[in-house]
Amino acid sequence: MNEKQKEFLKKAAVIVLSLFFIFYVSYQVYLTSFEKVETETALEKTVNNSLFTTGFFVREEEYIVNSASGTVIPIAQDGKKVSSGDTVAVAFGSDSSVESYMRTELLKAELERYTKLNSITPSSGIDADALDSSIGSAISELVDRIDANDIGNLSSSYAALRDCITKKQLILGADINFQDIIDGINNELEMIEGRKLDHETINATGSGYYIANVDGYENAFDYKEVKNILPEQVDALLEGERAQVADDVMGKLVTGFNWYIVCKLEIEDIAELDVNSFVTVDFPYSSTEALKAQVVAVNVSGADTAAVVLRCNVMNEELANMRIEDIEIIFNSVTGFRVPANAVREVDGVKGVYILRSNSVTFREINIVWTSDEYVICNDDEIKLYDEIITKGKDLYDGKAIN
């Protein structure tokens, strides 16, 4: 390459670099002048005005004492109301008697199941769409239990799905007859019922809600004094040891219609807890549904804490077996539109948000009813569902056009 060619290439390189520099600077100027905004879609959200704590369940409980020996099988369901003299459990004196009893209960359940299935025909009036929904729910439940490694309940979930699918086949006209199975179950039941079972019944000693299990906390606090409990006594309950239960205790009865949840709260957390007011108690780590409770006492001891007593009167199997539980005390719930906290602006002393509608910026005043560091809840009509709320933008004003 001669000198003339080298000189040409140098000039060409300078020109190319100059053009690239001019293009880069122009592009950066374009980017800085281009209007950029970020938005978030307005959606409805419900939040709880609540606090979390640990509660201790105080019930009026008495032991069911019986001298029966052997393996005890509960008959009555936990949390079920029973009367004095009702059979609540059976004590079997031999393993063979226990096996016969358990087999009988299983066969009775299977007999009921197959009898119901055997009565289904295309003219039974079963809604096919509702049955499809039941199949979907059963599949979801089975998958959830597989994911959770809930081995103990897999068989019941599978049986529920199997029965739903069988019902669908039957209403569509499938020729499935369960009479042979029903006859076989009845024959086996007759054989078992002909045997003499070595057993002794255990009866309720009074009226109340039956609970098969005892935990040693039955007498941890005087039920009649629960409204006077102090914070340090709540601590003692939560941290206390279980009492030894005698061998002849075969369950217990909850004899009081009302029962109580006691907990300890900081002084600053009790402002919303007026005596005689009602709150909702939820159980975040349990499948038990939330329940309504009345605040019957707020007892302050010292300057820092208070003991809160909540009265309830709902009883079921899960509640019957609760003693120390994490709870959420919900004072009220608020529903409105979720707005990011960084989107809230103040214009001429008015709090509101900028909304992007058809490439035009609109300012809307909002009424904030709940707030946190991340977002606020507003409940006015100025914001509509699916509005695009501007969370980031420069020099915004009402009516501004966005390119």
Residue 382: helix, strand or coil by DSSP? coil
- Residue 222, pLDDT > 90, answer yes
| DSSP track, 255-302 | --S-EEEEEEEEGGG-TT--TT-EEEEE-TTSSPPPEEEEEEEEEEET
H/E segment holding residue 363: strand 360-365
Band the pLDDT of 301: cuts 50, 70, 90: confident
According to CATH, the topology of domain 38-47+336-392 is: 2.40.420
What is the spatial distance between Cα 271 and Cα 281, in angstroms, rounded to a whole number? 17
251: region left, alpha or beta (phi > 0 left; psi from -120 to 50 alpha):
left
Where do the domains of the chain lie? 38-47+336-392, 50-62+221-241+256-333, 94-113+173-197, 122-170
CATH-assigned architecture of domain 50-62+221-241+256-333 = Beta Barrel (2.40)
Q: In this predicted model, what pLDDT tens digit does every residue of 329-341 receive, in sequence order?
A: 999 888 999 999 9
How distant is the alpha carbon of residue 274 from its chain centre? Answer: 26
Q: Which residues, other chains included, contact 220 with Cβ-Cβ below 8 Å and sequence gap of 6+? A: 56, 58, 237, 240, 243
User: Residue 187 to residues 178, 184, 351: CA-CA distances in angstroms?
Assistant: 14, 5, 78
DSSP annotation of 129? H
Single out the residue of 285, 365, 282 nearest to residue 329, CA to CA.
282
DSSP annotation of 35? -
**Percentage of the chain surpassing pLDDT 90?**
31
What is the spatial distance between Cα 166 and Cα 118, in angstroms, rounded to a whole number? 10
| DSSP track, 212-264 | S---S-TTSS-GGGGGG--HHHHHHHHHPPPPPPPTTEEEEEE--S-EEEEEE
Q: In this predicted model, what pLDDT tens digit does every residue of 196-220 receive, in sequence order?
A: 777 788 888 889 999 989 999 999 9
Q: What is the pLDDT of residue 211?
A: 92
Q: What is the pLDDT of residue 29?
A: 47
What is the spatial distance between Cα 48 and Cα 330, in angstroms, rounded to a whole number? 6
